[in-house]
Amino acid sequence: MSQPAPTREDEAFARRLWDEKFVKQVRKASRPVFPEILRPEREEVIQEALAKAYGKRDQFKGATQEDLLGWVLVILKNLTIDILRKRSREPAVDPVPGEVLDEHAAAPAAGSADEADEGEEASDLPPKAAGWVKMVKDVLAGLSAEDRDIILLRHDKHLSFPEIAELLSTGGQTVTEDAAKMRYHRAVKRLMEIAEEAKRRPKRGPDG
C-alpha cells in the first residue's frame, strides 16, 4: 500500500527540521549531554532523531523554533536511551575505550560537527537553550570523561546499574554492578566538589 503524497504542511515541516541553522542548534544544544560512547555516531543519531520527529509531526503542538528545538531534543534523548539500552544487552558490542573518549573530548577531528559547534556564538541558540548549555558545560567540564559518562548514563539516560555495568564492560574486562556503583558514587562526589569550588569562586563583574 503506497504512502499518501506529502502535503504542503508536511513539506514545510520537513524544511523546518532540516534547515541548516536548526540542525546546528540541535547539535549544539545536545552536545553537553550526548553520551561519549555514541560520539562517533553522533551525526547519524541526530539525523535519525530528525526523521523520527518528522514521522511524529502530527504530535508537535508548539509554534516557535524554540518549541521545535525542545521537542526534538526530547526525541533525541529518548533515542539515545533506546540505543544504549539495546547495546547493554548485546555482549558482542564493546564501548569505545576510555583513551579514545579522552582523545575525542580533548581534540575533535578537524572539520567535525563538534569543532564547528565550538566556533559558533551563543546567540546561535535561543536564550533559554544557550543558558542551559553554558550551565551544563561549566559543571561537566571539570569531570573526567569516565565520570561524566557514568553520571549521564545514570541521570540523563536513566540506565540501571546492571545496564551501566554491561555497557562499560569490554571484551577483556568485565565491570560488575558493584564496580559501576562505586564509579558512580566517586563521580558524584567529584561533581559536588566542583560545585562547591564554583560557589567559592569570586563572580566576575561586567568588566571581567
Q: Where are the domains of the chain?
A: 8-200
**pLDDT the model gives residue 142:** 77
Q: What is the DSSP letter of 40?
A: G
Q: Exposure pattern of 78-90 as b/e (b: 16+ CB <10 Å)? A: ebbbebbbebbee
**pLDDT the model gives residue 95:** 37
**pLDDT the model gives residue 51:** 94
Give average pLDDT by consecutive 10-residue segment, the chain, 208 residues: 74 93 91 80 92 92 90 89 73 36 36 45 59 65 80 77 78 80 86 73 53
**pLDDT the model gives residue 58:** 92
| Closest-CA residue to 28 (of 160, 109, 137) | 137
Q: Exposed, middle or buried, 177 (CB in 10 Å: 0-12/13-18/19+)?
A: middle
C-alpha span between 4 and 12 (Å, rounded): 16
**pLDDT the model gives residue 204:** 53
In this structure, what C-alpha cell is assigned to residue 68? 521545535
Contacts of 22 (CB under 8 A, 6+ apart): 16, 65, 68, 69
